[in-house]
């Protein structure tokens, strides 16, 4: 199977077949090498499909989109969601929100 798979699931199924063939120790060396090369292409295909799905999820979640570089994936610690970025900002003090409120008699300055 040297053609592009129709789906992610097809690629995974083919990868499983190739893995079994390589691990069987009955595959000639040249065929094992061809299977390995095909497997690398399938892995790249699967990574691309997963990246596309991740981008779509970001769109659905109204998150900021970032370019996908499959050769240099971002470190988990450097990728932050909007919620995480918000959490980094200190909450305003209550006086900033409400102004000078007389806490003794619970007056609200409206």
- pLDDT, tens digit, 9 for 90 and up, residues 65-86: 556 666 776 554 445 556 666 6
Could you tell me the pTM of the whole model?
0.53
Residue 9: CB atoms within 10 A of its CB come to 11
Residue 25 φ/ψ region, left for φ over 0, alpha for ψ in the -120 to 50 degree band, beta for the rest: left
Question: Could you tell me which of 32, 26, 2, 28 has the C-alpha nearest to residue 14?
Answer: 2
Distance CA 94, CA 75 (A): 36
How confident is the prediction for the chain on average, in pLDDT? 76
pLDDT per residue as tens digits for the range 29-39: 999 999 999 99
Residue 90 pLDDT = 64
Q: Which residue pairs from 20-23 have beta carbons closer than 8 angstroms and sit at least 24 positions apart in sequence?
A: none
pLDDT of residue 78: 47
pLDDT at site 55: 86
Per-residue pLDDT reduced to its tens digit, 56-68:
887 777 666 556 6
């Amino acid at each position: 199977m040297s053609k592009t798979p129709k789906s992610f699931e097809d690629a995974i199924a083919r990868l499983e077949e190739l893995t079994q063939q390589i691990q069987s120790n009955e595959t000639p060396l040249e065929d094992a090498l061809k299977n390995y090369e095909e497997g690398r292409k399938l892995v790249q295909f699967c990574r691309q499909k997963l990246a596309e799905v991740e981008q779509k999820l970001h769109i659905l979640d109204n998150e900021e989109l970032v370019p996908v570089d499959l050769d240099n994936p971002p470190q988990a610690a450097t990728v932050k969601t909007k919620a995480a970025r918000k959490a980094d900002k200190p909450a305003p003090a209550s006086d900033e929100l409400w102004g000078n409120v007389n806490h003794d008699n619970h007056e609200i300055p409206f």
